Structure 1
Amino acid sequence: MDSVSDYYSATQLRSDRWSALRDAITSISRETTVKKTNALKATVTSLFDSLAVIEPYWAFPGMAAFDHMRRQFEHGNYDDVGFTVRRVTRALTTGAYRRRTIPLDRDSVDDEEHNDEAMLSPEARAMTRPYFEVLIVDDVSDQQERWLKSNVSRMRRPEDPFHYEAVVVPSLEDALIAVLFNHNIQAIVVRPGLTLKSKNDNEILAKYLRNASEANELDGTQPEDYGPELCRLIDRVRPELDAYLVTERSVEDIAGLDLGICRRVFYNQEDFMELHLNILRGVGARNKTPFFNALVEYSKQPTGVFHAMPISRGKSITRSHWIQDMGAFYGPNIFLAETSATSGGLDSLLEPHGPIKEAQELASRAFGSKQTFFATNGTSTCNKIVVQALVRPGDIVLVDRDCHKSHHYGMVLAGAEVVYLDSYPLNEYSMYGAVPLREIKHQLLELKAAGKLDRVRMLLLTNCTFDGLVYNVERVMEECLAIKPDLVFLWDEAWFAFARFSPTYRRRTAMRTANDLRTRLRTEEHKSDYEAQQQELLDASDEEWLEARLIAPPNARIRAYSTQSTHKTLTSLRQGSMIHVNDQDFKGEVEQSFHEAYMTHTSTSPNYQIIASLDVGRRQVELEGFEFVQRQVEAAMSMRKAISSHPLLQKYFKVLTAGDMIPDHHRQSGVTSYFDSDQGWTDMWDCWENDDFVLDATRVTLAVGGTGWDGDTFKNDVLMDKYGIQINKTSRNTVLFMTNIGTTRSSVAYLIEVLVEIGKELDELLDDASKMERLSFDKRVKNLTENYPPLPDFSRFHDAFRPDNVTPEGDIRTAYYLSYDEKNCDYLELDGSLKEALDSGREVVSASFIIPYPPGFPILVPGQVISQEILAFMRALDVNEIHGYRADLGLRVFTSEALETLSVAKHQKTAAE
């Protein structure tokens, strides 16, 4: 039997233990030898012992049924216990316990036993009442527990919109374990009788408990404060839940306490119906989808269409003789719900006042923002909206150089003067990491020394990066605010929308950090720490400022924006995105300009299906995001383990670890890998708490240079064409596998099977290879794993586009529009005239964005000087797609005359001023 250390999560452990228990008990009945029978009995006993620690945190099958199974086994009733275990395992696997009572007696009949949840039609599943579990925290006897559950059960009514079962645990620690372990829990009832410590002693449960509360955090807590403290702690790990506090304390005592997620306080009463109604109302509030519901109702209305869109109500399709196949493929509802009108309660995205407004408010609550705005044309547009709303011509913006191209175009539109920040390079894998905080602070201090800090407007970073590198968001924001107290932060979280719903990931999201900072900056303790540091930094050098862990002033303004591609990592139709705002100055300074920018970039004919999917996607993550993200991480961790520990795969592939992708000095925890074949799993919590950068475990970067194929060839010719596996990110010698909330363990198993098959084929190929073929293979591998081109840094803007030579910001807008006049531009060939020009010492300046895919970000922007390093990198690129580069003409550059004319005009303007 596998040890606990072989499992990343308790959820996987529970599932596999039940399956193993079923198999072992079934085998006992068939076994004929005493020795093997005794071995199986020992295995079953061990499995029961393991499950006994876990099962108290789940409603099904329940500890009464579990203990009964165990007694049956001890009394030798193997057929009876085997029947019950098989039925329980099947119900857990199919989810049948969520929609009906599962009879566990051998004589019972379950007419629906063979109807798997997955085999039900979508219509049948939609008609089923959603199921959840309520956690009751109270240290009671078995008899009192049965009384509690009985009273809760008696409150249920046929007309209730949801169905739930109760789980009872005795202590605060057990409750924390339960909400981190049991994803079915949607509400917690905290009663006065709870105790502090758990009686369970289990390695994996201890890990969950450590992650829920900081060391010694609960020491000294008085018994009367256990209930409020539990509500506060659950708010930290699963803020989407509802808690209800039953207390004997006076209202005056409760009023001043931090009650976290507590929705209502009941004063020493046993009004179970009132509690029941509040539980249903709380879950119902998260289950609301105002716009989706309005769209459904609109589709049912008989209407006469006298506006644009012939496809509305499906009329142009149903009347057609040639496109009926489209109607058959999509079905009628999508067309019944299609309209260009804002009547019928469907609201306007540009001026929302009804269901869209309500849907955005619910999304704001779910993602922890102060305001949330929907977008139906992707995060590229979201980025441009935020930049245009906040940045004025001449403002200085610090930008992650390898961010998405929409940010660079946003700088052009806004007329920003851009300071590009270089990420640390990962030359061995032909990819960039992330921008070190020291680099950001260095640029801010240089601008401060030049007297330009008042013009610095925004810091723009990608979190997490395409390759999965995640910033320490709180540290970046606080230290930058210590230098520029009103700095605006735009965090591009296009690939990170799911992070809100994981306790580990949430702390590194923009909205959570902004809320935490707003709270902390108001405390007396923070004020005292800030004043003490200011004394220490009196007359300090820039180097000392760079080395110090800076503390933000108490009066700093928290101004954070995040843009998220909901469609990339959560449930939404393509191009469904959100803008989340947590800006203390939004109402007074930004609201009007934001509205104008939103109007500028948002279609007056938005796709209502996308809006509805954003609404439904928000509902999903509020009710089951924790479960889905947990399973997503589990799938990725299983993939890491399987590849890293497989002898054949190790010959040709390597899973890149945090140690490979993050330099040592940015990993204060010392964690190099999430899985080690010798030690098992590493707890992610510590590195996510402390390190400058961490690696998103859901992204598995696989080095494929050992196969002799470059990343692009491996993606297209091998994975896609041969095996139907789709990915969209490669580098010169890596491919990226991204798990998501839809990834299943079966999908992971298939990928491992494919990689093993590829490994076997390579073994056979090399076994049969001639000497020359082997030399050719080894040469390709060496070229991909040893001979790699160094990644170039941002060179600089040409002087014609810089206000001075003191600081590095450049006017990208002027450069961009200067290239609109063809007479200002010329074309130079990479291996010919461009190389000759650089060798002769001429300053050559790019007139276009040059964006190779991969890596997918600009290596040149308009106005940037082309360096020898950039030329060498471009010549070494072995990709077919380079946006902005014309293979027939070469690289588009500015003529010397155009640059000279612009320089003269700039000097004349400066002299006149």
Structure 2
Amino acid sequence: MSRDPQHAYNSAWQLRGDAWCRLDEAADRLTRTTTTGELKDEYVGVCQGLLATLAPLEPYWAYPGTPQFAKVQRQFAAGHYDKFAHAVARINRALTTESYRSGEVDTAGMDDTDMFPADPRTLEQHPVGTTEDLYFEVLVVEKMTEAQERALRKEVRSWRRPDDQFRYELVIVASGDEALIAARLNVNLQAVVIRRRFSHQSTRDLTSLADFVDTRVSEELDDHKSPDERAQILAESLRELRPELDMYLMTEIDVEQIAGRLGPFFRRVFHAREGVLELHLSILQGVAERYRTPFFSALKQYSHRPTGVFHALPISQGKSIVNSHWIKDMVGFYGLDVFMAETSATCGGLDSLLEPTGPLRDAQQLAAEAYGSRHTYFVTNGTSTANKIVTQSLVAPGDIVLLDRNCHQSHHYGMMMAGANVVYLEAYPLADYTMYGAIPLHEIKSKLLALKAAGKLDRVKMMSLTNCTFDGIVYDVERVMEECLAIKPDLVFLWDEAWFAFARFHPVYRGRTAMAAARNLRDRLKSDEYRREYETDFAPSASDAELLGRRLRPDPATARVRVYATQSTHKTLTSLRQGSMIHVFDQDFEQKVAEAFHEAYMAHTSTSPNYQILASLDLGRRQVALEGVELVQRQIENAMQLRDAIDNHPLLSKYMECLRTSDLIPDAYRDSHIAQPLRSGLRNMMTAWENDEFVLDPSRITLSIGRTGYDGDTFKREQLMDRHGVQINKTSRNTVLFMTNIGTTRSSVAFLVEVLVKIAGELDEGIGEMGLGERGRFEQKVRSLTTSSAAMPNFSGFHEVFRDHSGAEPTPEGDVRRAFYLSYDDTNCEYLTGDEVFDKLDNGIDVVSATFVTPYPPGFPVLVPGQVFSREILTFIRDLDTPEIHGYKPEFGYRVYTQKAIEMCGPVLAPTGGQAASRGGEAEPIVEPGPAPLVLTQTVPSGLAPDHEPESGVSDEPASAGAKSGTVTRKARSQRERGGD
């Protein structure tokens, strides 16, 4: 699809960088002696067009700066093409190599106002090659003359000292709308200084930057408001856009009163005539705080200390290696530092992961600030462990949990260990591609309302969803939580963001992350405006059908925002393998969860954690706190360039196609009805991400390959991995998934395009040489991959003996734990082949899975313990293209329960609603009518129960007399809240 060249880019920095490279090439051609006549006129036109492209962008970067760019324009206009070409080559070289960051730029022919000079004293303090990483830019918002700008830059430079850890330059804009443009475009910005005198709207022509102009803020910043009000509005808007930026205010009057009023919006408030040096030092200190890595620094310091180890870990400081005759190559491969930092010590400044009080605690607090959470916890065994920690800390036996059926298997195991009664939520199917999408809000609300009708809403504790899905489908997180809290005001949310940790650091993505949505929702519920909206919108007599069809609002008086997110830092950001984080934004965490969370954390965390993983999490946090915006923008741009390279290539587009948003998200879930939001401009992306129920993460490229005649797994193994060394994770029947990340380079994108072109070229040549019969078989294979749809089964349901039959209406939840442990007695189980299962189903006999059956990838179970087989599920598994299916043994078949075992199982009699409702830290005893809330009252036949008591303390024995009477003591409830006996 042809597009305007400006819209071929989705990041202005990439457009700018490529424009300078093209300008350098065109200017060089222009000055060659062989370039004459029409050819010379052609290159003059090219240079003129590229200068016009760069002109609106350059004011928002410190290098080369507006004066130097204006000088380049003057040289070109005057026809001094040699000088023009030399200046462009110098600037482009500095931008391409990023030498401008360290001041190592050829300054011949330039005056000191054109660009910032190198400070030789600073260069002496740092090794060559490191200072460019310690450069940043500061945005100053104030109307100034050119002379005033030069004076301010000179004054700031005068405060530099040889031992400064960082160096920075200024970007100066005169208006609020341009400040927002600069924040969107310039990824080098780390701080903003707002002064009193700035206009609300630019006098420049911003037509070419329309995608980046926020007219709503411009209207709010009108001149009728006081300078203080305008400064506050601009600061709030900039913080919403770039929350990592440090905000400073400079004012001339009433600085003490203004600091009291506007202090929450700014890091510091300064007097304009007195505070320049202090401002300079504060800017450096603010960046230094984000640069600080408490645990990594402590580990580095430890590695330089001589120690005597007399307890464990022979590898500590490399001692068992450097003295070895046979494994010294280990040092050669890994380097010595990794072993010098190896320790099992929890003292001497290194801190303990289980009870952090020093640098590790500080590192986690810095991570919480960077990710927008109230608390952040490091995990060294991946997000699988993080999910189990959160689940065990929140869910007790008998609690009902709404769970994404297609979630990662770790959630299913977490439900089993916690003893939850699980209600599985169904995602919409994408049968053409043999994959599932996400779970519609209608499906979620219908399950909650059904549980409410059955009188079980008080037992519903948590809902867990995957955001974003493996294939890149992203929820409207805030709306999901808002509408669910309207039905269940204390519902807890666990968002599995294993593949979405990077999203915090992009202004459009951020609003659809768990932590940002939780904070926004909390703030809205506290506002007077929301309270008025709720009172107007509240409909107490609405039927369930009406509630399903309308947007619901939670009662601000009762709703509690309780949100958890688990993220695989190692998957999408910088960390060693298995480095993950748990982020918490729970208003009731300290009161209701902290102790249980600590116990769950202790239960699942090693007492010998890998300190290198912890240090890498600390460093990864530093990276995104200082350059996350830049890295994520580059990631998205690389993905879009890959899409364009495939879809616009005549040979590749013949056999392959990048699926669009409209291919993966049905129109019913896209109010914007934009088929390709990002490809049609940033503004359209923002519109879709603000309004649509689901959106597509543009960094995921699902490539349809059905026309190649290869199924996904064969294409992955035989073509990509075995022949070309291209690693991918997920495939489906007729697609493969490519994901860009913050480590993806343009060269790696180019390599992938080369590989795909080679595959397509060989395929095209092979098809041209096929005989008639061979051609027919190939076309039949293509038809089977492109026209027929695979069976996409829903969750078939738990067998009746594992279902909860209490309540006014039947509901689908099942006891996964009981079904799981039933299989521990081998006499209860047998193996059946797929054909044998089909035969039983044909004869009307239920077949019940005794284990989890999980194709990998994508890694979610299609069968869980206690689930009834269906023909659709068997067909789905049989047609899968992945050879790795956990829980299925090709030589034996499926492990299922015998009919005798099922017949001997009694139905589940679940605890009454008082059990779930009573947890929460109340001090007084409660009285509950009905059966004992802690007891499964069915009698399990001998040989069917596990050999040990469940760790949660749920007993299979009859209740005590006290429990039967309905009285629960304070001690018993306290034990139950901790999940103990």
Counterpart Cα distance in 1 of 2:177 and 2:60: 12
Are residue 901 (structure 1) and residue 901 (structure 2) matched? no
Where 1:125 maps in the other structure, the secondary structure is coil
2:925 alignment partner in structure 1? none
Aligned to 2:376: 372
**CA pair 529-271 structure 1, distance change in 2 beyond 3 A:** closer
In the alignment, is the contact (CA less than 8 A) between 1:291 and 1:356 conserved in 2? Answer: yes
- Bigger drift between 900-909 and 368-377 goes to 900-909
Match status 1:866 vs 2:869: yes
Matched, 1:700 2:701: yes
For residues 383-431 of structure 1, what are the alpha-carbon distances to aligned partners after superposition, in whole Å with 9 as ceiling and x for unaligned?
Answer: 0000000000000000000000000000000000000000000011010
Find 2:201's aligned residue among 191, 197, 212.
197
1:275 aligns to what? 279
Aligned to 1:635: 638
Alignment of 1:66-81 (within 5 A): 66-81=69-84
Matched, 1:651 2:654: yes
Query: Deviations 1:487-542 (Å, cap 9, x if unpaired)?
Result: 000000000000000000000011111111111101111112112222xx232211
CA 1:682–1:507: 2 relative to 1, 3 Å: closer
**Residue 814 (structure 1) aligned with residue 818 (structure 2):** yes
Instruction: Give yes or no for contact 1:312–1:337 (8 Å, CA) kept in 2.
Output: yes
Per-residue deviation, 1:609: 0.2
Match among 433, 438, 441 for residue 437 of structure 1:
441
Instruction: After TM superposition, give the deviation of residue 268 of structure 1 in Å.
Output: 3.4
Q: Which moved more, 1:367-376 or 1:44-53?
A: 44-53
What residue number does 1:739 align with?
740
In 1, are the aligned partners of 2:217 and 2:237 still within 8 Å (CA)? no
Report Cα offsets for 1:779-838 as digits up to 9, x if no partner. 11111112232210001111100111711100000000001111111111102x111100
User: In structure 2, what is the Cα distance between the partners aligned to 1:271 and 1:388?
Assistant: 52
User: Which residue of the partner structure matches residue 119 of structure 1?
Assistant: none
Structure 2 counterpart SS, 1:683: helix
Q: Distance in 2 between matches of 1:836 and 1:214?
A: 67
Quickly say closer, same or farther: Cα 1:258–1:451, change in 2 above 3 A: farther
Cα distance in 2 for residues equivalent to 1:160 and 1:681: 38
Secondary structure of the corresponding residue to residue 503 of structure 1: coil
**Native 8 Å contact 2:199 2:223 kept in 1:** no
In the TM superposition, 1:99-114 aligns within 5 A as 99-105=102-108
In the TM superposition, residue 680 of structure 1 has moved relative to its aligned partner by 7.3
Counterpart amino acid of 2:50?
L
The reply on whether 1:543 has 2:545 as its aligned counterpart is: yes
Q: 1:821 to 1:62 in 2, by over 3 A?
A: same
Q: Tell me what 1:155 maps to.
A: 159
Q: Deviations over 1:12-44 (max 9, x none)?
A: 110111111111111111144222212222221
Aligned 8 A contact 1:229 1:259 in 2: no
- CA distance in 1 between counterparts of 2:908 and 2:101 reads 74
Alignment of 1:53 onto 2:89? no
Q: Which amino acid aligns with 1:571?
A: T
What are the within-5 Å matches in structure 2 for residues 173-572 of structure 1? 173-210=177-214, 216-218=219-221, 222=225, 224=227, 225-250=229-254, 254=258, 262-534=266-538, 537-555=539-557, 556-572=559-575
Distance 1:411 1:400 in 2: 12
Unaligned runs of 5+ in 2: 112-116, 118-125, 911-935, 940-957, 959-963, 965-981
Q: Secondary structure of the equivalent of 2:129?
A: helix
Using the alignment, how far apart are the partners of 2:493 and 2:93 within structure 1?
49
Paired with 1:191 and 1:829, the residues of 2 have a C-alpha distance of 75
Mapping 1:825-840, distance limit 5 Å: 825-831=829-835, 833-840=836-843
Cα deviation for residue 643 of structure 1 reads 1.4
Deviation at 1:752, TM superposition (A): 1.4
Aligned residue in 1 for 2:921: none
Q: Which residue of 1 aligns with 2:919?
A: none
Deviation of 1:107 after TM superposition, in Å, equals 9.3
* Deviations 1:578-626, CA, capped at 9 Å, x for gaps: 0000001100010000000000000000000000000000000000001
- Partner AA of 2:31 in structure 1: S
Using a 3 Å threshold, how does the CA distance of structure 1 residues 368 and 154 change in structure 2: closer, same or farther?
same
Q: Which SS does the other structure have where 2:360 is aligned?
A: helix
Which 10-residue stretch deviates more, 513-522 or 246-255? 246-255
Return the offset for 1:69: 1.5
**Which digits, 9 at most, give the CA deviation of each residue in 1:224-267, with x for residues without a partner?**
13222211111101000101101235357636756675201113
The CA deviation string for residues 48-103 of structure 1, in whole angstroms up to 9 with x for no partner, is 22212111111111111111122122222222221111111011011111112423
Q: How far does residue 301 in structure 1 lie from its aligned partner after superposition? A: 0.7
Mean Cα deviation higher: 867-876 or 362-371: 867-876
The corresponding residue for 1:116 is none
Give the counterpart letter for 2:721 in structure 1: M
Q: Give the Å deviation of 1:885.
A: 0.5
Q: Which residue of 2 aligns with 1:25?
A: 27
Structure 1 residues 388 and 87, CA, compared in 2 at 3 Å: closer, same or farther? same
The SS at the match of 1:687 is helix
1:905 is displaced (CA, Å) by 8.7
When structure 1 is superposed on structure 2, of 44-53 and 546-555 the one drifting more is: 44-53
Amino acid of the structure 2 residue aligned with 1:195 = S
Amino acid at match of 1:701: T
2:631 is aligned with 1:600: no
Deviation at 1:776, TM superposition (A): 1.3
Report if the CA contact (8 A) 2:200-2:223 is conserved: no
Tell me, what secondary structure is at the counterpart of 1:365?
helix
1:438·1:546 contact (CA, 8 Å) conserved in 2? yes
Deviates more, 1:724-733 or 1:501-510: 724-733
Q: Give the Cα separation in 2 of the matches to 1:47 and 1:637.
A: 22
Going from structure 1 to structure 2, the CA distance change for 1:232 and 1:257 (only over 3 Å counts) comes to: farther
Does the C-alpha gap of structure 1 residues 811 and 640 become closer, same or farther in structure 2, counting only changes over 3 Å?
A: same
The 8 Å contact of residues 668 and 690 in structure 1, kept in 2 or not, is answered as yes
CA separation of 1:97 and 1:384: change in aligned 2, threshold 3 A: same
**d(CA) in 2 for partners of 1:712 and 1:559?**
40
Distance 1:904 1:260, change over 3 A: closer
SS in 2 for 1:736: strand
Percent identity of paired positions between Structure 1 and Structure 2: 56
Q: In the alignment, what sits opposite 1:770?
A: 771
Q: Which moved more, 1:396-405 or 1:142-151?
A: 142-151
User: Given residue 325 of structure 1, which amino acid in structure 2 is its aligned partner?
Assistant: D
The answer for the alignment partner of 2:711 in structure 1 is 710
Alpha carbons of 1:127 and 1:344: their partners in 2 closer, same or farther (altered >3 Å)?
farther
> Contact 2:567–2:580 at 8 Å: present in 1 too?
yes
Offset, 1:682: 7.0
Q: Give how far 1:646 is off.
A: 1.9
| 2:89 equivalent among 82, 86, 89 | 86
Contact 2:221–2:234 at 8 Å: present in 1 too? no
Q: Report the TM-score, using the length of structure 2 for normalisation.
A: 0.89
Query: Residue type matched to 1:599 in 2?
Result: M
Distance in 2 (CA, whole Å) between partners of 1:424 and 1:133 is: 46
Deviations 1:625-667 (A, max 9, x none): 0100011011111111221222221211111111001110100
Query: Taking structure 1 as reference, are residues 764 and 223 closer, same or farther at Cα in structure 2, changes over 3 Å only?
Result: farther
* Whole-angstrom CA distance in 1 between matches of 2:166 and 2:7: 37
The secondary structure found in structure 1 opposite 2:171 is strand
Equivalent residue, structure 1, for 2:11: 9
RMSD between aligned residues: 2.1
Deviates more, 1:796-805 or 1:660-669: 796-805
Q: Displacement of 1:480 after TM fit? A: 0.2
Q: Distance in 1 between matches of 2:464 and 2:896?
A: 27
